[in-house]
Structure 1
Amino acid sequence: MILGIGFDDPFLVGLLGVGLLLLLVLVGIRIVFAASIVGLLGLVELLGWAPAAGIVGTIPHSKSSTYALSVLPLFILIGFLAFHAGMTQQLFDAARKWIGWVPGGLAVATVFATAGFAAVSGASTATAAVFARVAIPDMLKHGYNPAMAAGVVAAGGTLASLIPPSAILVIYAIIVEESVGALLLAGFLPGLVSALIYAAIIILWATVQKDVGPPVTGFTHMDRLKALPGTFPIFAVVIIIITAIYGGWATPTEAGALGAAVVLAMALRRGMKARTVRDALMETAKLTAMIFAMIWGVLIFVRFLGFSGLPEAFTVWILSLDMHPMVIMITILLAYAVLGMFMDAIGMLLLTLPVVYPAVIALGFDSIWFGIIVVKMAEVCLITPPIGLNCFVVNGVRPDIPLGKVFRGILLFFIADVITIGVLIAFPEIITFLPSLLL
């Protein structure tokens, strides 16, 4: 009982808890605090103080000691080490020399460079922040429209959500108890398809509106060949992680540790100083702590939902609908699109999956396929107003480009994301092919 008010129906308590959580998030309370407070109050209402405190008190330790979670700081560390070692700049330099000659060439180069960095980063906002520093100055220098320059960086950063190693795919796998390795492999081809569709949209945009993104020429074949060695560390880490997981001789955590060790060795060989290594470690620790705290808070709320019976009731209701399963799936995705306008991607998945996932599986959809689709939806939410976290990141790094102009710049990339989701729904084999090879 809370404040002397008792509720006999646990389902009603669950609904009130969901409503209160959404209210707290909308008024600006951070999700880690909102979820943990509502979850604790709900558990106290349903179970009493002592059982609720016992459940809440065990979550941080029990979840922090989960082996699967140990992959997160390793993937994050790879990205920060690569950035501080200057590998990001070399990756972009190679991409612009090889691709800069096409219409919108620097923007296309940014897409593929962000895809390459995503393969060692795993964090969308970090990728957007890095390339706001690396790519935007070069594009503006060559006369690119500021909206395009900002938009392509914000959109390109979202590729880190799909291309392995992806932190958000790991979180999905942990929530639904799916294979981390299978999900990481499943994200590779959809991430590549998404990057190609981004590139096609840019070329079309720059062809129709010639002054928005002029091509960059003047590079010789020797210039291009000389730029390639700088990309080898990135591709080496990608190959190590993918082959280790696919070959079955390393778990995702072990592959992440090996990848981090390789990047560190290459960074030290390039002359990285001890202070820079310390900075990379500190940034990794801060981001990891933030993600872990969010997981703890939301899992408290998830425990409350479990005792309320809300996920089971939602599944029964979904199955009772007289509609084709794909129509229901599209409706769920549209709901994610709306919810993502007000919440960050990780928090949105942590809160919704315990309710939505059982219903999706009961409808007969594949767990790995749904994971990639819903993570792609989370990507879309990273560039849609009013939250659009990647857009805020780009604006924070480049305050000279107004936020409104950043949002205008992502409009065509939003359309590209819708096309990508349609392709992935129409051709599910793009998602399931690589994981099927593990079986």
Structure 2
Amino acid sequence: MTNPMVLGLLSVLLIFIFMGLGIPVFAALGLAGMIGILFVQDLTYVYNVLQNFAFDETAAYLLTVIPLFIIMGNFALHAGVGKSLFHVAKRWCGHLPGGLAVSTILTCAGFSATSGSSVATAATVGSISLPEMKKAGYDKRLSAGCVAAGGVLGVLIPPSVLLVFYAALTEVSAGRMLVAGVIPGVLSVLVFVLGVLLISARKPAMCPKGEKSDWGQRLRSLVHAWKLLALIVVVLGSIYTGWATPTEAASLGAVASVLFLLTSKQDFSSKLKAIAGSSRDAINTTVMIMMTMLGAGIYSFFLSLIQVPQMVSSLVIDLPLPAILIIALILIIYIPMGMFLDAFSMLVITLPILFPVVTGLGFDPIWFGILAIKMCEIGLITPPIGLNVYVIAGLDEDTSLTDVFSGASWFILMEAVTIMILFSIPFLSTWLPYTM
């Protein structure tokens, strides 16, 4: 039989060939996996394994969290949660150097707590904040960069679909993974805000100060943030206290957000269109994620069949290097992958091989999960395929892709700072989930 490591490397090459031909990632993974299985087994074996594979791979109670979180975010969007958050943040921070950029980041963080989608966060907040920053005379690169980077908070701050996806792939507790995203999420926001303040101090012409609101205006504005606070309490509060499972909490959040939509000031036909559109979007996104999981599952089965994960794990663990350095090298792998693949694809390709290495070296899977998600964040704003960058460039015809990538480069450096802090202090990722 052909050497398993050679077969594994050839299968990776085959995946990239398929993707280069325009085949979707899930199909490229599935086809490469099936062709690989045929190399070591006959067609009857492949049929017997795959006839119930789709059901076994996707019919999991935990995965119902994904459409529920997506539809919760869509309902919250149409209920106007994002728009009200920006005006609250503007009242409190608009007078600071770079105040509107800071307000944009805080709004992204707040909206991320209602939506597990990075792209949805960037598109929603960008449509509100970009015109405001343009009107105030902000540098278009900084404006676009802070929206694109603020959007990546949507994959870390719970309820994050990607955190649930990681939990499903690695069989880590989904509840603990969601709660683990809280402190790293807050740290990411703080680093972004401090970075913007530093840029403003060095280049004040890029981001002029705005008008200062009095304390009465600030306090009155907090009324508009009650919907966000309610969703955070309902979803994260119920998970953390153990009052509800992640699936039950997602259901409660979806019900709360649809009630916010139904009680909004829109006319009835607009509400019906919003519900229909939100439901359709949730179905489309869920199917995309499930198909990615299915393709990845077939490919992972092939790798397990030829024992590549076990071989790689043994090989890496026996390297004459400090264990922490091995983890650092593993994380660096995500940088070039993020230039060409989306976050879901990166996780499904790497985790079957790398996760046994992480656990074999004795590292906490929750800590590694947070770091892996942070590395995926960087991929969303790096060229040539930074999804958030393309979304922002589409929102403002005066801002080119080059401008957005240029503005996002500052925030890539800030992301690197955050990752180094989380890497050096695992306690920040693991303390809260283990107090549940």
TM-score under structure 1 length normalisation = 0.96
Kept in 1, the 8 Å contact 2:58–2:290? The answer is yes
Specify every segment of 5 or more residues in structure 2 that has no aligned partner in the other structure, as ranges.
Answer: none
SS at match of 1:13: helix
Letter matched to residue 105 of structure 2: V
Aligned to 1:280: 278
Counterpart among 398, 411, 414 of residue 412 in structure 2: 414
Q: 1:169, 1:334 → 2: CA distance?
A: 19
Kept in 1, the 8 Å contact 2:58–2:293? The answer is no
Q: 2:416, 2:40 → 1: CA distance?
A: 41
Residue range with higher mean Cα deviation, 171-180 or 305-314: 305-314
Q: 2:396, 2:216 → 1: CA distance?
A: 33
Cα deviation, residue 49, structure 1: 1.3
Counterpart among 358, 362, 378 of residue 376 in structure 2: 378
Q: 2:229, 2:320 → 1: CA distance?
A: 49
SS at match of 2:324: helix
Letter matched to residue 90 of structure 1: S
Calculate percent identity across the aligned residue pairs: 37
1:35 correspondence with 2:29: yes
Q: 1:399, 1:36 → 2: CA distance?
A: 38
Letter matched to residue 172 of structure 1: Y
Q: 2:63, 2:265 → 1: CA distance?
A: 31
Aligned to 2:352: 354
Q: 1:317, 1:416 → 2: CA distance?
A: 34
Q: 1:409, 1:432 → 2: CA distance?
A: 32
Cα deviation, residue 266, structure 1: 1.6
Aligned to 1:170: 164
Cα deviation, residue 65, structure 1: 1.4
Kept in 2, the 8 Å contact 1:40–1:56? The answer is no
Letter matched to residue 96 of structure 2: V
Aligned length: 432
Residue range with higher mean Cα deviation, 287-296 or 250-259: 287-296
Q: 1:342, 1:323 → 2: CA distance?
A: 29
Counterpart among 278, 286, 300 of residue 298 in structure 2: 300
Q: 1:427, 1:45 → 2: CA distance?
A: 45
Cα deviation, residue 54, structure 1: 3.0
Letter matched to residue 70 of structure 2: I
Counterpart among 72, 77, 88 of residue 78 in structure 1: 72
Letter matched to residue 387 of structure 2: L
SS at match of 2:333: helix
Q: 1:287, 1:135 → 2: CA distance?
A: 26
Q: 1:44, 1:377 → 2: CA distance?
A: 34
Aligned to 1:18: 12
Kept in 1, the 8 Å contact 2:109–2:189? The answer is yes
Q: 1:345, 1:142 → 2: CA distance?
A: 34
Aligned to 1:264: 258
Residues 144 and 12 (structure 1 numbering): CA distance in 2 closer, same or farther, change over 3 Å?
same
Letter matched to residue 134 of structure 1: I
Cα deviation, residue 381, structure 1: 1.1
Q: 2:275, 2:98 → 1: CA distance?
A: 36
Residue range with higher mean Cα deviation, 128-137 or 251-260: 128-137
1:209 correspondence with 2:208: no
Cα deviation, residue 154, structure 1: 0.6
Residue range with higher mean Cα deviation, 111-120 or 218-227: 218-227
Residue range with higher mean Cα deviation, 16-25 or 326-335: 16-25
Q: How does 1:274-353 map to 2 (within 5 A)?
A: 274-353=272-351
Residue range with higher mean Cα deviation, 297-306 or 223-232: 223-232
Cα deviation, residue 24, structure 1: 2.7
Q: 2:111, 2:50 → 1: CA distance?
A: 37
SS at match of 2:403: helix
Q: 2:396, 2:29 → 1: CA distance?
A: 32
Q: Deviations over 1:251-276 (max 9, x none)?
A: 00100000111111121111452122
Q: 1:286, 1:138 → 2: CA distance?
A: 32
Cα deviation, residue 123, structure 1: 0.8
Q: 1:372, 1:88 → 2: CA distance?
A: 25
Q: 1:215, 1:97 → 2: CA distance?
A: 12
Letter matched to residue 333 of structure 1: L
Letter matched to residue 304 of structure 2: G
Letter matched to residue 391 of structure 1: V
Q: Deviations over 1:36-71 (max 9, x none)?
A: 111111122222212213323323212321011000
Kept in 2, the 8 Å contact 1:380–1:417? The answer is yes
Letter matched to residue 212 of structure 1: M
Q: 1:403, 1:8 → 2: CA distance?
A: 45
Q: 1:125, 1:399 → 2: CA distance?
A: 18
Aligned to 1:67: 61
Cα deviation, residue 385, structure 1: 1.0
Cα deviation, residue 218, structure 1: 4.1
Q: Deviations over 1:402-427 (max 9, x none)?
A: 00000000111001000001110111
Q: 1:200, 1:300 → 2: CA distance?
A: 44
Kept in 1, the 8 Å contact 2:76–2:260? The answer is no
Aligned to 2:241: 247
SS at match of 1:385: coil
Cα deviation, residue 9, structure 1: 3.6
Kept in 1, the 8 Å contact 2:167–2:174? The answer is yes
Q: 1:164, 1:304 → 2: CA distance?
A: 33
SS at match of 1:120: coil
Aligned to 2:223: 229
Q: Deviations over 1:174-213 (max 9, x none)?
A: 1110000001011100000000000000011011101111
Kept in 1, the 8 Å contact 2:163–2:178? The answer is yes
Q: 1:419, 1:345 → 2: CA distance?
A: 20
Letter matched to residue 147 of structure 1: R
Kept in 2, the 8 Å contact 1:26–1:342? The answer is no
Aligned to 2:139: 145
TM-score under structure 2 length normalisation = 0.96
Aligned to 2:426: 428
Kept in 2, the 8 Å contact 1:10–1:307? The answer is no
Q: CA RMSD in A?
A: 1.3
